Amino acid sequence: MSGMYDVSVTVNGERHQRTVEPRLLLSDFLRHDLGLTGTHVGCEHGVCGACTVLFDGEPVRSCILLAVQADGHAVTTVEGLAPGPEQLHPLQEAFWECHGLQCGFCTPGFLMTLVPFLEENPDPSELEIRQALSGNLCRCTGYQHIVDSVLLAAAKGKEAK
Amino acid sequence: MKPAPFEYQAPDSLDAALEVLARHGGDAKVLAGGQSLIPVLNFRLAQPALLVDLNKLAELSFIRRGEDGGLRIGAMTRHRSLERDPLVREAAPLLAETVPWIAHPQIRNRGTAGGSLAHADPAAELPAIAVALRARFLLRKAGGERWVTAADFFQGLFTTALEPEELLVEIALPPRPERTGWSFQEIARRHGDYATVGVAAQVTLEEDGRDDGRCREARLVYLSVGQTPVEARAAAALLAGTDLGPEAIRAAAETASRDEMDPTGDVHATPEFKRHLARVLTGRALRSAAERARAGRS
């Protein structure tokens, strides 16, 4: 049995303090300890990308990060994307409009990968989009509608400016 | 819980980390970016008694010009920082060209240069680049340190010169020679996946050469074709003194892929297919490197 560690993690702007075993994965911490089940776990060894969250603003795979490593850091999950309960994030809206999801299991990971991508690269080419989402697996859409969604979100973002 | 239980320490200075390793080296695993280690823990392929987390060691995260004009990289520098840093593009363009090939963006945000090198996966990009660039690694332990060349560091499959109580703390790249071109080529089933085969090429032309200047030195280092990064020295020697024309390149690609590698097959590629890819990629890499060297975009 290993010791327990106090961690203080800011998730979607709210600070949470818990006592955890060091072997607790960040993905399980978010889902089980905080009840934030929007972060999905697929492969649990860093291949499928479903568990992607933002760690200090950068997308990372929460299934290959320990909860103790998040102590003192800021995490954003898919629950933190929409501006309010009645609204969607512009990228979520584009996914909805372009049919960028079918079963939806992989969607939180795609969103958390692509939101910072669009912030850094607001006018991406299709190739850049395909490379950006290469670390996320989707078994329904064949990716085409996901690429369309990102292109739409980028176009709308340009219009808004 | 996926991993088996372990104790955890996150020292806040390098000296403290070295003390912990001096006491527990054999039973401890060092956690850098964790992008290979934590999957291994999740599968319970490794069950270390203690994890020593280096992520609080800000002193190991840096990219700066060395006194010799080369590049110094702290072991905890993340791939993403290498990818974005203008100094890397200027001082080590081969490294800059290769970093976007390392896994996926999510992995590059966490994975570290030192972690990738110490893990010594023969399918990884950085070990091959380190050999091609004649990198040296600073290994430190409580009360001592030593420099090891990349060629001596990689000893076998996931096996390096590191002793259990040692840490890889810094990577030194020598200054870039004049009139030098570079290229990195890789085939993977999906962008960001492990390479089926990859090659780093660097060619240096004679300094007094005209525009069709002859080759003074060439280097070819492969990933995913052996137990370590594989350097094709005989093929590179064939290129010295040539004009790096199609004949010379064909001969080098033939020698490297036929005589200087021993790839094992997997479900995606037979050894013969890997040799074929190595031959084709060698040609592409050498043509591109030669063109860059001639254009003086060195």
The pLDDT-based confidence of A1 (bands split at 50, 70, 90) is low
Residue numbers in A near B190 (CB within 8 A): 134
For residue A69, list chain B residues with Cβ-Cβ distance below 8 A.
10, 34, 53, 55
A57 and A101 both lie in a single domain: no
Measure CA A87 to chain center. 18
pLDDT, one tens digit per residue, over B282-292 is 999 999 999 99
Q: What is the pLDDT of residues A31-87, one digit of tens each?
A: 999 999 999 999 999 999 999 999 999 999 999 999 999 999 999 999 999 999 999
Q: In this complex, do B8 and A25 lie within 8 Å of one another by their Cβ atoms?
A: no
Which site among A24, A61, A115, A131 would you substitute to test the B interface, given the most B Cβ atoms closer than 10 Å to its Cβ?
Answer: A61
Residue A38 is assigned to a structural domain of this protein? yes
* Residue B61 near residue B78, CB atoms below 8 Å: yes
Q: Which pTM was predicted? A: 0.95
**With an 8 Å Cβ cutoff, is B3 touching chain A?**
yes
Distances (CA, A) of A89 to A78, A109, A146, A157: 10, 14, 15, 12
First vs last C-alpha separation in chain B:
51
Q: Are residues A95 and A155 in the same domain?
A: yes
pLDDT on residue A28? 98
Do both A137 and A76 map to the same domain?
Answer: no
Exposure string (b/e) for B128-143, b if CB count within 10 Å is 16 or more?
bbbbbbebbbbbbbbe
Phi and psi for B57 in degrees, rounded to 5? -90, 80
On whether both A55 and A119 belong to a single domain, the answer is no
Q: pLDDT band at B211, cuts 50/70/90?
A: low
pLDDT on residue B27: 93
Burial status of residue A158 (CB atoms within 10 A of its CB: 0-12, 13-18, 19 or more): exposed
Last residue of a domain, one of A80, A98, A133: A80
The verdict on A121 and A95 lying in the same domain is: yes
Instruction: Determine contact: B105 vs chain A, CB below 8 A.
Output: yes
Q: What CATH number is attached to the domain comprising A137?
A: 1.10.150.120
- Asked if the model's pLDDT at residue B6 lies above 70, the reply is yes
- Least confident stretch, A36-40, A106-110, A156-160, B75-79: A156-160
Kindly tell me if the per-residue pLDDT of B21 is higher than 60.
yes
> Does residue A18 sit in the same domain as residue A75?
yes
Residue A95 lies in a domain: yes
| Neighbouring-strand partners of residue B181 | B203
Which residue carries 């390793």 as its tokens?
Answer: B21
CB contact under 8 A, A49 and B106: yes
The mean pLDDT of B186-213, rounded to a whole number, is 86
Domain match, A43 and A107 both = no
Number of domains in chain A: 2
| Mean pLDDT, range B97-126, rounded to an integer | 96
pLDDT level of residue B207 (50, 70, 90 thresholds):
confident
Position A85 in a domain = no
Q: With 90 as the cut, is the pLDDT of residue B199 above it? A: yes
* A10, part of any domain: yes
B142/A contact by beta carbon, under 8 A: no
A123 within some domain: yes
In chain B, the domains with their CATH numbers are: 7-53 (3.30.43.10), 60-173 (3.30.465.10), 180-295 (3.30.390.50)
Whether residue A120 sits in one domain with residue A63: no
pLDDT at B25: 83
Choose the weakest-confidence range: A143-157, B53-67, B182-196, B220-234: B182-196
**Alpha helices (H) along chain A:** 26-28, 90-98, 107-120, 126-132, 144-160
Report, in angstroms and rounded to the nearest whole number, the Rg of chain A calculated over CA atoms: 16
Chain B nearest CA to A95, separation (Å): 21
Query: Where do runs of H (alpha helix) occur along chain B?
Result: 14-24, 37-42, 79-84, 86-91, 93-98, 105-108, 113-119, 125-132, 150-153, 233-239, 246-259, 271-295
State the average pLDDT over residues B196-224: 89
Model confidence at B298: pLDDT above 50:
no
| Residues A17 and A73 both lie in one domain | yes
R_g over Cα of chain B:
20
Whether residue A124 sits in one domain with residue A69: no
Domain hosting residue A23, numbered range? 5-80
pLDDT at res. B96: 98
Residue finishing a domain among A51, A80, A109: A80
Question: Is the same domain home to A95 and A38?
Answer: no
| Distance from C-alpha of A99 to C-alpha of A138, rounded to nearest angstrom | 13
Rounded to 10 degrees, what is the CA torsion of B62, B64, B68, B71?
70
CB contact under 8 A, A69 and B34: yes
Task: Please tell me whether residues A76 and A94 are part of one structural domain.
Answer: no
Q: What is the mean pLDDT of residues A125-141?
A: 95
pLDDT at B282: 98
Q: Please tell me the distance from the alpha carbon of residue A121 to that of residue B223, in angstroms, as a whole number.
A: 31
CATH assignment of the domain containing A56: 3.10.20.30
Domain final residue, candidates A80, A111, A129:
A80
For A59, the enclosing helix (H) or strand (E) is strand A58-61
Contact B5 A61 (CB under 8 A): no
